[in-house]
Chain A
Amino acid sequence: MRTRNTTLALAGLLVAAATTGCGGAVTTASNAKADGTYAQIAALPKDQQVAKAKELAQKEGRTLSLYTSMTADIATPIAQAFEKQYGIHVSVFRGNSETVLQRALQEAQAGKPGADTVETNFLEMTALSDNNLLADFNGSSLDKVEAAGKFAHWTASRLNVFQPAWNTDLIKPADEPHSWEDLALPKYKGKLTLEVSDSDWFENVTKYWLDQGKSQAEVDKLWKAIVANSKVSKGHTTMMQFLSAGQSPMEAMNYTYITDRAAEKGAPVTHLPQGGVSKIPAFARPNGVGMIKNAQHPAGAWLFYNWLLTDGQKELVKLGLTPSTKVPGDKSLNGLTLVPFDVKGLSKDDGSWDKKYDALLRGAATTGS
């Protein structure tokens, strides 16, 4: 008798458990009206768009979901600044750029996007755009962005600039590198660190050398020498910690904003030689923002996109990043020799540069392109 009651109770519990969730779910559902909202805002004259978006965002519930690959110490202040200005709560999902892409793709394929807006790196934004996940923006804030920063369905909001970085306690001014070719010099043997996923830097430098007139064989030789000088590591910010600690004297490439932020905290690191001017070609990779089609909060997404290209740019400068527009007081590009980033070469890439770079690092490379 007792066991029968226990059985029935258990069965009842199982059924109950199977039909209830565990607390409020983050809503992932499709919003077919989103396109209508985007179109509605886009159709207005430019000076009325912000006001309309604000009005619609109020009706949407004053909340927004952002998927980004900015590190938390940057994403949190950005989200807070936007919230302060518009009173819209930003719920941030943070991950690697690959994770952000995978999650957005998975959700879109299931027809249940969880993000309203995405802010991540060039390759991933291109992938999202190619998969038709992004809605078009035509606000007036686009005017301030240079042509190189405007893309099919997204816009660059910040730039990651490629330069070597070194520890000033371990690398004396006489030993500083003055070109990418210098990294192949024997004097740097055992002193360099390469990051395991920097295939975009690999492609840009290769193309730059080929455009300068070097032959493929010469380029291959240079790369082999650079790899022979180096250890491989993972994660630009982690690498900067090790550089600051003196664990590694020099990095073949790190983003200038990471170097600058570490230097500001007092670490003995820099990317500029003693004179303050670097002749090493600085490739500026765009990272950008996009609005998701069928988003739950399209007006909020529009506002965020617009804000990131205007007032948001000032916030980025405050955090030490390089904005995609000209912001007074921005010192991040001082002393750098900017060179255009090979957008064309990398947007039609199908992963072949990733594989070439990986094979190069493993020592399994055959010949170049």
Chain B
Amino acid sequence: MTLAPTSTTARDDGPEARPGRTPQPAEDRRAHRLLRLLRRPLSLQGLLVGGAVVVVGYLAIVPLGYLIHDTFLSADGSGLSFNAFARAYGGNSQSGEMMLNSLWFALGSAALALVLGTALAYVQVRTDTPFKGLFFAASLVPLIVPGILYATSWIFLGDPSSGLLNSLVFKPLFGTSPINIYSVWGMIWVQGLHLAPVAFLLMVAAFRAMDPSLEESAAMSGANRLTVLRRVTVPLLRPAMISAALLMFVQSLESFEVPGLLGLQNGIYVFTSRIYFVLRAYPIDYGAAGAYAIGLLVIAAVGVLVSSWLQRSSRNFQTVTGKAFRPRPVELGRARPFVGAGVILYFLLTVVLPVAVLVYASLLKYYAAPTRKTLSQMSLANYRAVFDMPLAFTALKNSLIVGVGAATAVMLLTAIVSWVVLRTRAPGRRLLDLLAFTPIVIPGLVLGLALSFVYLRMSLPIYGTLLILLVSYCTRYLPYGMRYSSSAMAQMSPELEESAAVSGASWFQTFRRVLLPLMSGGILAGWVYILVVSFRELSSTILLYSPGKEVLSVLIWEQFENGQFTTLAALGVCMVVLLVVLVSIAYRLGARFGLQSDSAN
């Protein structure tokens, strides 16, 4: 039923069909046919779509090919071998326990993040909660704070013996220290909080694009608010929730900082601890690292297949149709102060506390629990040190260039590719979807190795410049862009494109003037997400940056390695403030181009 791929040929009538034209000689006809064949790929649609598919395919295949090559190649370089799998999963590697730990950790944090993110998004978009502006910026803070800082501030808060929560709150009041951040639950809590903004951004975009008429009809038929929520709203969001859950599950599987800082203490090993170990050792066992990555890939592929099976009846979820709609915020009435209080409590716990620890640490010379002595020694020396750092402004500039570039490139590419996947019948589109998802399971370090291998051997001046960082970030964030774009695309009914085509628009006009603005919520969310996390991206950057081309995450990592936690905290606070400002500006601008939906926004 989809019309789009044929829209350009609809006008491609050959000379024979037009009345009153003399038939042309055979050679001319063959030439015309050739020209007609070439016209489609050489049209704007062909170039853009073909180009996007080729670029996405290239970005995904380079690290994947490198990984497969290293995993399956035998030690003496000849022929296929599965020894890498034996080394990785066999022997005393305790891989069963490690896999269980990883799955448990990933499922728990994805579930927590999904629940929190969806609830927050609902409150933000669909109710008339107070403090909306603050709400939005503050929801993103756990995402902005770099993983090592976030985990470290929770260590200072939740350490069983000396954590601030235990020593200042629980022990004096209840006499016990129940909080132990080094357990699996502690890890799930920190990672879930860290990921909740991912779900939040996705669900905000989904809620904004939702037609409330179905909810209104349910309300008119007598359903109370809870029933409407349970039987209409949540089911309508299934594609977005599934996309978010998949993304967060795989990201937790692949995350290193939280399990590394919190799990190692009590011997909780996960996939990534093993990958880190084999890549750190010398001689480097690329094969074993590849075997682990392929294990992750299999799990992710299963996840993608399950999620596309769950989304099979996508027609039911298309809420952006040709009819106009205006979502009406749910009036909370008497529940308003409670919800307001709940919002504030959430922020105290998840945003204010860790950031306060960071601010406190940034004012000290070396970290110590708050006592009169430490409070009297607070100063702004660390901030002065940050501004005096010769690389600070270069790193900031580079981070901005690479971040904005990667975010824009990825969102544009994935908007086009998600159109191919969801709106055409092109053969191999499911493979393309899967391919675009694979970079998420490739460990950052392996990505760095793959890219430096390939570009060192290319004569184009890419290695050693900012371009290689751009390529790395585009590769790394491709899956996220795909999830944001495709859930936005899935919400739109094809009748809008069809009406545009019927009115005479070309593919490019339809894409630019109908699809992109309607998807703008999702695209903007994805853009913001990629910009923010690119500031934190470290594992591949470490191998690829060159002196003079440092980015902020490298600076942060250096301070961490230096053990300069206090300067690191100051740098982190500056980064948080800067990114919150950037994100607010982005949303102000983006709101002009998209659906005017949020009231009081």
Tell me, rounded to whole Å, the shortest Cβ–Cβ distance linking A230 to chain B: 9
Smallest CB-CB separation from B464: which chain A residue? A26
Q: Measured between alpha carbons, how far is A349 from B93 in the docked complex, in Å?
A: 20
B561 & A103 in contact (Cβ 8 Å cutoff): no
Smallest CB-CB separation from B266: which chain A residue? A231
Interface string of A181-199 (1 = CB under 8 A from B): 0000000000000001100
Provided the pairs A11-B47, A98-B282, A351-B281 are in contact, do residues A71 and B366 lie with their beta carbons within 8 angstroms? no
Q: Which parts of B250-274 form the interface with A (CB within 8 Å)? A: 260-261, 264-267, 269
Provided the pairs A26-B548, A114-B464, A265-B366 are in contact, do residues A238 and B282 lie with their beta carbons within 8 angstroms? no
B457 & A265 in contact (Cβ 8 Å cutoff): no
B563 & A241 in contact (Cβ 8 Å cutoff): yes
Interface size class of B (residues with CB under 8 A): 35 or more
Provided the pairs A6-B44, A7-B47, A21-B462 are in contact, do residues A72 and B456 lie with their beta carbons within 8 angstroms? no
Tell me, rounded to whole Å, the shortest Cβ–Cβ distance linking B166 to chain A: 12
Question: B452 within 8 Å of A by Cβ?
Answer: yes
Interface string of B141-161 (1 = CB under 8 A from A): 000000000000001100101
B558 & A94 in contact (Cβ 8 Å cutoff): yes
Q: Which of A10, A107, A238, A246 has the most CB of B within 10 A?
A: A238
Q: Measured between alpha carbons, how far is A96 from B553 in the docked complex, in Å?
A: 15
Smallest CB-CB separation from B163: which chain A residue? A247
Interface size in chain A (residues, C-beta < 8 A)? 73
Smallest CB-CB separation from B273: which chain A residue? A196
B456 & A28 in contact (Cβ 8 Å cutoff): yes
B47 & A10 in contact (Cβ 8 Å cutoff): yes
* B residues lining the A interface (CB < 8 Å): 42-44, 47-48, 51, 92-94, 155-156, 159, 161-162, 182, 260-261, 264-267, 269, 277, 279-285, 365-369, 449, 452-453, 456-457, 460-467, 470, 506, 508-509, 542-543, 546-549, 558-565
B267 & A362 in contact (Cβ 8 Å cutoff): yes
Q: Which B residues are CB-close (under 8 A) to A72?
A: 558-559, 561-562
Smallest CB-CB separation from A350: which chain B residue? B283
Q: Which parts of A346-369 form the interface with B (CB within 8 Å)? A: 350-351, 354-355, 358-359, 361-366
Question: A27 within 8 Å of B by Cβ?
Answer: yes
Which of B47, B281, B368, B460 is A21 in contact with, Cβ under 8 Å?
A: B460
Tell me, rounded to whole Å, the shortest Cβ–Cβ distance linking B58 to chain A: 12
Question: A73 within 8 Å of B by Cβ?
Answer: yes
Smallest CB-CB separation from B51: which chain A residue? A14
Q: Which parts of A244-259 form the interface with B (CB within 8 Å)? A: 244-247, 258
A266 & B549 in contact (Cβ 8 Å cutoff): no
B546 & A21 in contact (Cβ 8 Å cutoff): no
Q: Which A residues are CB-close (under 8 A) to B156?
A: 245, 247
Q: List 12 A-B contacts (CB under 8 A).
A: A3-B509, A6-B44, A96-B561, A98-B280, A98-B282, A102-B543, A103-B452, A231-B264, A235-B560, A247-B159, A355-B281, A358-B277
Q: Which parts of A264-285 form the interface with B (CB within 8 Å)? A: 265-267
Which of B281, B285, B366, B457 is A241 in contact with, Cβ under 8 Å?
A: B366
Q: Measured between alpha carbons, how far is A6 from B45 in the docked complex, in Å?
A: 11
Interface string of A69-100 (1 = CB under 8 A from B): 00111000000000000000001111110110
Q: Which A residues are CB-close (under 8 A) to B558?
A: 71-72, 94
Smallest CB-CB separation from A66: which chain B residue? B547
Tell me, rounded to whole Å, the shortest Cβ–Cβ distance linking B346 to chain A: 27
A7 & B43 in contact (Cβ 8 Å cutoff): yes
Provided the pairs A106-B453, A241-B565, A262-B366 are in contact, do residues A232 and B94 lie with their beta carbons within 8 angstroms? no
Interface string of A101-135 (1 = CB under 8 A from B): 11100110010101000000001100100000000
Question: A40 within 8 Å of B by Cβ?
Answer: no
Q: Measured between alpha carbons, how far is A236 from B159 in the docked complex, in Å?
A: 19
Q: Which B residues are CB-close (under 8 A) to A365?
A: 92
Known: A3-B43, A26-B548, A245-B156. 18 other contacts (CB 8 A): A4-B44, A7-B42, A19-B460, A23-B465, A23-B466, A26-B549, A93-B547, A96-B280, A96-B561, A98-B280, A102-B449, A114-B464, A197-B280, A231-B265, A234-B261, A235-B561, A267-B366, A363-B267
Closest 10 CB pairs of A and B: A237-B563, A21-B461, A110-B456, A26-B464, A26-B546, A91-B547, A25-B461, A25-B464, A364-B92, A231-B265
